[in-house]
Structures are given as C-alpha cells and as structure tokens.
Structure 1
Amino acid sequence: MSLEQIGRRAGRMLANRMRAPPSYHETCPSRDTGDLDQLKLPDADGNTIPNFSRVGYREGLARIPFIPVQIVVEPSLDPSSDDTSRIQEAIDAVAQSPLICMGEDGARIRGTVLLKAGTYRVAGAIVINASGTVLRGEGQDESGTIVIATGNIQRDFVLVNGMLGSEMGAVEMQRTKARTAEMQPINGYRGSKKPDTYTSRGADILVGSTQIPVESTKGYKIGDRIVIERPGCDEWIDNIRMNCLPSRPGNIQSNQWTAKTYTFRFERKIVAIDCATNTFTIDIPMVMRLDPKYPQARVYELIHKMPTVSDVGVENLRLVSEYDPCNPEDENHGWYAVIMDNTVHGWVADVTTVHFVSGIFAGRWSRYITIQDCSVLDPVSKPTEGGRRYQFNLSGQMGLVKRCYTTNARHDFITLGRICGPNVFVDSTGVNGNNDTGPHERWAMGTLYDNITCNTLNVRQRSWMGSGQGWAGVFHVIYNCTAHKSNNCFQDPPGATNWIIGFQGALTKRPAFEEPGKSPMFCTLPSYPRSLYWAQLIERAHGDIQYVKKIAGYEGKLQYPPRL
C-alpha cells in the first residue's frame, strides 16, 4: 500500500476512532444524542452552541445522488494532445439537456459526463455552469481517471460556477484572465416585491437562537428564504478594537476595519411565523449575536442577483498539476484544483488533487456544498507565503468537509474573512502542515471543527498579520480535536465566545498577541457523543441512526460512530 493510500485510509478511518467501548450502542443507544442538552453551554450573555446539522448537500439528510451517465469520453490515443475542448464540449452538450426531477428532496438533474479510466491533458480549465451536471471519473488513484493541468498557466482548474461562461475555460482565455475578477465573479441580492422588515427594536437575538422577532411579518409565509442583514457600525468596530490595529513590522500601516465592509448577511428559511408576537422561526440558528445596542438587522427575501447552479458535482477523479520539476517552489501552474462558487447544493467527492498550489475551495457565494472523501496531496509552491496551500477552504455558508485528508499544507482546513456560516469540518486529518488549521482572518462566524487532527489549531487574535486580519473567528466550536504541536491558541474577542471541548493538545504559553479579558469556554465533559455534528444530525433524524447511515451511503456493520 502506498503512503498516499495509507494517508487517505487514515483520514477515512477517523470515524472509527473509538472513545466509547465497542458495545456502546447495545448498552446505551440513547447516548447518541443524550448529551446534547449538556453541550448547550451558555456563555455569560446566554449564547449557546448552535445546531450545525443543516450543512452540506441538501442540508445533510439526502444522499449525494448517482446521476446517470449521458456522455462517455475516452482518453486520447495521442498522449500529447490537449483534451480541454473535448471535455468541455461534452459538459456543454449535457448542459443542453432538459432538467428532470429526481427523488423527493428537490434535486433536478441533467446527466453525467464520464471520463473513462486513463490520462487526459487539459491546457486550459474545465467549467461546469449548468444545474444537474456532473463530471465523473473511474477512480481517484493512479489506475483511475487522471486529469493533468498542463502548461505554465497560473490558473484555477475545475470551475463550478453559475456565472461563468464555458468559453472561459479555453486556453486563450486562461492565459489572459486566469485568477482575475472575471474568473471569480461576485453575486449579490436583488430587490423583491415583498416588503423589507427589521428585527424588533431592543431584541437581543443570541447565538444558537432560531427566533427572530421582527417589526412586521406582513408579506412573508412559511418556506420563504430570507436574508438577515446585520449592518456594520463604527461603535461595534470600536468595541472590538479593530479600528486601532498596530502597524506591521517595518512600520507598514495595517488596514483598519470599517463599518461599510463588515455588514454580514445570513441566508435562512422561515419555518414558522407567530403573527401575535411578530416572530419568525428560522431553520438554522444564528451564529452571530444581534446585540440590541447596535443598529437593527434588516430582513428581506432571498433572491440572488445572478444565476446560481444546483445539483452539480465533481467526483471520482485524480487531478494533477504539471510543474517545473527543477523548481520545488514553482508557482506557474495549477492554483486551486477545484472551486465551487455561485453554486447551491453541490459536491466534490472521491477526488484526489496532487501538486496544485491549493486544493478544494467552496467560495463566498457557495451554499450547501459537501466535500467528502477527498485528498489534497503534495502542493508545489512557496511553502510559507500567504495565499498558498489552502487545502480545504469553506468560505460560503452551510459548507461541509468530511473524511478528508491533506499533506504539507500551510492551512489544512480553513475559512477566509467575514464568513457568515455555519460551516463544518468533521473527521478529517492534516499531516505535516507548516501553519495552522482554523479561521484565517477577519471575523469568520460559526464554524465547527469536529474530530479534526492536525499540527496546530488556532482561533485567535491575528492583529496586524496579513495587513490587518484582526480577530479571526468567533462563535466557533472545537470539538474532540487533536493538535500535535504545542503552539495552539484560543482567544475570545470582546462580546463573543468560542467553545473548546475535548481538545487534545498543548496551548502556547506566549500568544502572538496578548489579549485581556475572558478566555474561551473550555469544557472537561466526557467526549460523548464522539461527534457533535453526527449527534446533531441523528437527533434531527429523530434518533434514527440507520436512516442517517443509509442517506450517507453507509450500509455496513453498525459501529459507533457510524462511518458517515
């Protein structure tokens, strides 16, 4: 067995790491979720650990679909040929097919492009921009489907994005536009016939709450999707001291935080309306406190301004980036192996990436993305400079990384700045990372790190680092994680809390930036349930572990925890 296979198996076997005896289910089946009440752990303000179970494809309770093959592509007989246009034409042909409803979870599909086992060479990029379209190979190991990013273009490789035209993957386009704003278009929200409303004046809406008191519920009904827009304000930034960041070494000025760039927009669905009290009940708890001493939040209908795609996937492939073998820090080659953005309900499954600068990225306008059973191996780049070796990156909302594995990262499992959450990393391993796992910058909210193993894990003040990253993460949960090095750091911003439960690792005695005041909430409760995410999901499925195992694609022998 190769080192890569051993590593990938280690990542997947995390779910079998037993903290309970083998007879756990037989002797105490209620313990799957029985400790969840104990884990509410309110902080001094009453904020509690949110329910993270509604993340990932179709909110976690639908199995990733097996979409039928519509077009088969064979490897070229000429090993020097460029397969960019052949693969893209097959994807575009499937994209012209009609959408067909599949199952009871709302999925609408077109078909799959199957790349038969063998080697493909792609000098440009691959674009998927139509709902219901899947790119599938016949295996992620060296005997499966290998897609090589050839040449010296510094570009992202597989682009799943409802706002990109398929012509953007052409070699000529990539040479001139790769990694520009045109390749990373920004979405937004457009107006609606429904009236805006605002949270009730004086309402204190805590983290973990699903109750949103508003000034009026007029025009809204159960099932409506809404945006809860918490405005940035100067008073808040002053209170968390992010308007007085110190200069970087060399007397380089840090970028001070400003109110206009710290407006947070949380996407939710109304599941109940109490007209007597003018209260919405939302499906996913808040992961940021709406404090009454700051301006009221605006609530309005969720309509994306530009197209998004859904039920799209990249699966069962091995993606390899060519690079200059004489230069171990070469960066004129593939950057991110896969980016999903402007996508709702998508997945990357059973994909291995090798030698790209970074790995798999669920972008800022991604929603309900699952990344599972993937490996990001042996990146080639400058090893310690910023913006590189971000292996698994969840920077949208409701993203899920599970059973993944990576080597030689800077940041194994990461979020970027102003991420509204929730997002979940579970049952995954990073080996030999030279920097930390955790929120990377600028107030990422509501991430669960659950049974993650890595070298270093931080949720901390980053102050002037990266031109002013400041407070990196808030209302995070670190649950039954392991960090091998001794420089781990957990700090709380003013008015916010992080929950650290069952952490195995040594804390640094000298944080990079000392902070006064309270510490994160450490808890020495027994580490039951083994996984907070899976226990919350099972509870949401009314305790039916067999159902959760079924929709997650695991039909084998019952274990605790299930290999989900």
Structure 2
Amino acid sequence: MSFFKKIARDIANKVDPQRHSERHQEQLHSPQGPQPQGNYGNSFQQPFEAPPLDDHFVEVQPPQQPGLTNAPAAPSDSTLEALKLPDEHHNTIPDFSRVGYREGHVRIPVIPVSVIVEPSNNDTMDDTARIQSAIDQVSAQPLESIGEDGAVVRGAVLLKAGMYRVAGALVIHTTGVVLRGEGQDEAGTIIVATGAIQRDFILVNGMLSSDMGTVQNQQTLARTKDMMPTNGYKSSKRPSTTTMAGVYVPVGETHIPVESIEGFSVGERIVIERPGSDEWINDIGMDSLPPRPDSAASVQWKKETFTFKYERTILGIDDVTSSLIIDIPMVMSLDPKYPPAKVYELIYRSPMISDVGVENLRLVSEFDPVNAEDEAHGWYAIVVDNTTHGWVADVTTMHFVSGIFASTWSRYITIQDCSVLYPVSKPTEGGRRYQFCLNGQMGLVKRCFTNNARHDFITLARCCGPNVFVDSTGVDANNDTGPHERWATGTLYDNITCNTINVRQRLWKGSGQGWSGAYQVVYNCTANGNNSCFQDAPGSTNWIVGFKGGQTRQPEFEAQSTLVRAENATVEPRSLYWAQLVARVGDAQYI
C-alpha cells in the first residue's frame, strides 16, 4: 500500500468527516451559513519532487443518469501529486494549514464569564459607557493561562439577550478579553449602532484606548488615522542577515538559504523582508500604467511602497546549506535578480494583544430609511487590528456599509460562522461593501455568508498572506471575490461560491492598481456569473483548480491567462485547506 493510500485510509478510519463543522461552544452558538462537507486529503512533498504539469486530477463524478455509465475515478493519490503543480521556477502551492487562531488546529476557547451586563430595555438610553465599562473592568483583571496552546485570558463580558443601543464605538484593547452575547438571532443579543456617525463599530485593537469609543471622540476621530494606528517593527540588537546571493527561493519553499545563520535560533520569530525594486516594478509593467479614461493620471508603483514583510517562525537550522527552515512556506518568490531579502528578529514597535474575541451576537446599524444609499452610519461592523490570535465567531451584522475586517496588523485571526447581511451604502462606489476582508497575515474565514456585497471575500493592497477563505458563500454581489487593489500574495479561496472570482490585471482602475495579486489559489470554487477572469503577472503563477463558472471571453485588460485545471469539475480532496490541516495535525480537533 502506498504512503498516500495508507494516510487516506487512516484518516477515513479515525475521523468523522463532519467533525470540523462543530461549533466551538456546543450549546452557546447557533450555526449560520453554509456548512463544510466531508473528504480530507494528504500531505504535500518537497516542491522539487513534483511531477510535470499534467491534468490527472480526480474529478468527482456526477450522479449516473439512465443509459449512461460513469467511468471509475483514478486513485486519489494522483490528485495529490497533481496539486504540486510546479511552474518553471518550481513554485508550488503552499501549505495553507497554519492560519487562524492558534494556527487553526485548536478550538476557540470558551472564556469564563467575568462580568454580566443586562439590557437596559430603554429605547432612548445610550449603552456605550455601560458596555465599555464592563470591558474595562475585565481588562483590569489578571491574566490566566488556559489549555495547552498558549492562550492567556482574563474573562468574558456577557451581554444578556436583549437590545443594546450604542451611539459611539466599543473598544477591546487588552489581551484576554471577550465580548459575548447570547445568540445572533432576533431572540439573542442585539447591539444597535445608533446615530448618524460614520464610524467603525467594534474595534479590537491593542493600540487604542477605551475612551476612543466615546461619542465625542467618534464624532471627531472616526475613520481617521488616529483610529487606525500603524504598528511596525523595532530594530533588534540581534544579528540580521540576507538571503543567499544567486539562489532562487520559490513559492512553497520552507528552506531559506541565507548568508549567515549566526545568532538565529529555533523557535525564534523572524521577518523576511523582500524589498521593492525599480527593476521588479519595470518587469511587471507597473511603472508605465496608462491614464484613466477620464484622463486622470494613474499612480505609478514606487519601490518604497512595495516592500513585503513576511512573519515566520524558525523550525530548524541547516548548518550544511546555511538555511533557516521556516514554519510557513514562502508565498512570494525571492528572485536573486532583485535585491536580496533581509531577515531579522521580529519585535513589534507597539504591543499586540492576543486571545481576544467577539462572539455570539447580532450587530445592527441604524440608517435613514428613506435613503437606500445612506452612508452617515456604521461603516465596518468589526475591525480587528494590532492583534494576534483572535476571533470573531457566530456574529451577524446588518445594514453596515461593510462587514468584518482583519486589518493590516492582524495575525492569526479566525472569522467563523458569521453572516454579513443587507449593507446600506452607495452600491457600486469603491471602498464600500467589503464584507469579509483579510489584509493581515495568517487570517482565516470559514463557513461564512453574505449578500448584496460589492466584494464578498477579498484582500487589499500589498497583503502579504497566507490567508484562507473556505466553505463560504456570497449571494448577489455586484463586483468580484478575489485579491483587490495592488499585489496581494498567498491567498487560498477554497469552496467559495459567489457571483464572480477574479485574479487579474486591473491596470488603471482605482487610480492605477495594476496587478491585484499573485500566487493565488482558487480551489473547488463556483462562480454563478459568466465574467470571471484569471491572469498571471509576469514571472508569477496562480493555481485555478476545479473551477465551476463562466470565464469572460473579453478580459478588460490583456494579459497572460492562467491555466484552469479541472474546469467545470469538482476534484478531490474536497477542500485543500482541510486536507492540508489534517495532513499536518492528524485527527486532533476540527472546529
């Protein structure tokens, strides 16, 4: 029996294929949105062992019809081999399994309740200060370690079922604090964003303070840079190094040859900083973007704003090859024709909070009922930033301009079993109706649902990745799912159903966004429209596998088309993300 068949058999014997759809609180949370279905797969080998590119995926056969006979499927291990899909530089599909809270393989913890808040049952009362006071009370409690995964918690604020009215914003700014309700349906906990203040509503951010959510501050600071502080990396006294001259490091690789391994140690968190360069920008044509149709100039890409910083952990050090072995594969290639990447110790300039969450409640924004395009009200329902290992779970949002956003300085965030419904805004203008948005690193959206979006599931400019959207559905969007704006890397769209999926050249659109992304994976996804577009930037690769949906015959901008494999078919394993997670951790836990 082959290795792959043995692993597949062991998984089939040990794992109930429905277990990963269980909720992290057995009685507390109620399911929303689509649920994952069965089938786990096996591991990937080192990228240089990959076979030639050929179409030998295992397609899931449709039900037999009278008078027709379905051909038997090939062994599933051939599909796993095909999924390596190296390009001419040996770039391969990365392992996406280390995303989400605590790398995705443990349940979101059930944090003990520390403070209980009752609804005021007063339609004229502002509950902002009352709820924020409870959050601050829990924030002052001592930290306690729980479980074996490194979680440190203080406690949960429980908002009892009923309606709460918040005229400002709510801020979670301290490690180990959870805001929890008693249900996301109409009989559960409902927080209404009242008034005509255009602001983000629940802010999970280690660089904010509780007074930033007051009505007075929101009236003057909402959606300014003060409310969106930038973190960064501090310099370290520890040695730094650069990637080895003349060595190409492909996407999917975990061995990073460096000029010196001196001073680095196993378990250390590092940054791999790939600098921007004029030559790279020229090679992909982003220094010659044409003007917009209205004759306005496009913003040409500049090297200073296209430096990418990937956070990783050292799992091993190879003295023979002078290589650092990292936990998460590269999701952007390191080409020796461009300046070398710098490698250094990860130290944040400002504190990052952890083990924080928003769960099991409903958020509703007031709006002008006679103005279907009203925007003087809640913008993003939840924004998570300057946070590592956090979550948003079992939350429904309604009537906000946009939904749930894990922003640039978010790390290892899980957004699960959430619904973003009926946004109210101008329906087609930019910057609006971004329903589930990941722009940090190691983010995970799973089992979520949205409607009436512009963009159902997206990343934004210079998003480093990896990030994963899995087992989720968008209905009636007027724009696309996929990387948006400028050059996101390392995103997996896995079993996503929506109207349109694009990975493409945007050229002059949005003031000169150009290439929206590279090294993107679209796996067993379905687009209900006929205008999806997949294109590869020069020197890069995307992987489109098992795509069902219509592709445009007239792309808006000409570019190299991405090879679509197993078109209009479903391949096994059903989910790439779940297959990779099972291959890495076995049958530990499914969440």
Partner of 1:287: 331
Partner of 1:463: 507
- The 1:71–1:181 alpha-carbon spacing in structure 2 relative to 1, beyond 3 Å, is same
SS of equivalent to 1:40: coil
Among 250, 256, 263, the alignment partner of 1:206 is 250
Partner of 1:538: 582
Any gaps of 5 or more consecutive residues in structure 1? 1-7, 23-29, 553-564
Which digits, 9 at most, give the CA deviation of each residue in 1:291-342, with x for residues without a partner? 0100100000001101110000000010000000010100000000000000
TM-superposed CA distance for 1:21, in Å, is: 9.1
SS of equivalent to 1:37: helix
Aligned partners of 1:497 and 1:521 also within 8 Å: no
Query: Does structure 1 residue 385 correspond to structure 2 residue 441?
Result: no
Partner of 1:555: none
TM-score (norm 1): 0.92
Partner of 2:589: 548
Among 489, 492, 501, the alignment partner of 1:445 is 489
Q: Which amino acid aligns with 1:363?
A: S
Aligned partners of 2:60 and 2:570 also within 8 Å: no
Aligned partners of 2:547 and 2:564 also within 8 Å: no
Matches within 5 A, 1:459-538: 459-515=503-559, 517=560, 519-520=562-563, 522-523=565-566, 527-538=571-582
Among 33, 37, 48, the alignment partner of 1:11 is 33
Deviates more, 1:311-320 or 1:506-515: 506-515
Query: Does structure 1 residue 244 correspond to structure 2 residue 322?
Result: no
Q: Which amino acid aligns with 1:456?
A: T
Partner of 1:99: 143
SS of equivalent to 1:93: helix
Aligned partners of 2:268 and 2:313 also within 8 Å: yes
TM-superposed CA distance for 1:80, in Å, is: 1.0
Aligned partners of 2:121 and 2:162 also within 8 Å: no
Aligned partners of 1:353 and 1:375 also within 8 Å: yes
Query: Does structure 1 residue 53 correspond to structure 2 residue 97?
Result: yes
Task: Work out the percentage of aligned pairs sharing the same amino acid.
Answer: 65
Aligned partners of 2:543 and 2:562 also within 8 Å: no
Which digits, 9 at most, give the CA deviation of each residue in 1:59-113, with x for residues without a partner? 0111100000000000003221000000000000000001101111110000000
Partner of 1:373: 417
TM-superposed CA distance for 1:11, in Å, is: 2.9
- The 1:32–1:113 alpha-carbon spacing in structure 2 relative to 1, beyond 3 Å, is farther
TM-superposed CA distance for 1:519, in Å, is: 3.1
- For residues 562 and 398 of structure 2, the distance between their equivalents in structure 1, rounded to whole angstroms, comes to 39
Q: Which amino acid aligns with 1:99?
A: L
- For residues 392 and 285 of structure 2, the distance between their equivalents in structure 1, rounded to whole angstroms, comes to 39
- The 1:376–1:279 alpha-carbon spacing in structure 2 relative to 1, beyond 3 Å, is same
Query: Does structure 1 residue 349 correspond to structure 2 residue 406?
Result: no
Partner of 1:168: 212
Aligned partners of 1:189 and 1:304 also within 8 Å: yes
TM-superposed CA distance for 1:522, in Å, is: 3.0
Partner of 2:10: none
Among 338, 341, 359, the alignment partner of 2:382 is 338
- For residues 570 and 355 of structure 2, the distance between their equivalents in structure 1, rounded to whole angstroms, comes to 39
Aligned partners of 1:126 and 1:159 also within 8 Å: yes
Among 387, 402, 406, the alignment partner of 1:358 is 402
SS of equivalent to 2:152: strand
TM-superposed CA distance for 1:16, in Å, is: 6.3
Partner of 2:53: none
Deviates more, 1:425-434 or 1:524-533: 524-533
TM-superposed CA distance for 1:383, in Å, is: 0.2
- For residues 35 and 108 of structure 1, the distance between their equivalents in structure 2, rounded to whole angstroms, comes to 41
SS of equivalent to 1:237: helix
Q: Which amino acid aligns with 2:179?
A: L
- For residues 449 and 431 of structure 2, the distance between their equivalents in structure 1, rounded to whole angstroms, comes to 20
- For residues 561 and 425 of structure 2, the distance between their equivalents in structure 1, rounded to whole angstroms, comes to 39
Partner of 1:324: 368
Query: Does structure 1 residue 192 correspond to structure 2 residue 236?
Result: yes
- For residues 381 and 31 of structure 1, the distance between their equivalents in structure 2, rounded to whole angstroms, comes to 50
Any gaps of 5 or more consecutive residues in structure 2? 1-29, 41-58, 63-73
Aligned partners of 1:33 and 1:536 also within 8 Å: no
- For residues 539 and 183 of structure 1, the distance between their equivalents in structure 2, rounded to whole angstroms, comes to 41
Which digits, 9 at most, give the CA deviation of each residue in 1:203-259, with x for residues without a partner? 100000000001111111100000000000000000000000010111000000010
Aligned partners of 2:31 and 2:394 also within 8 Å: no
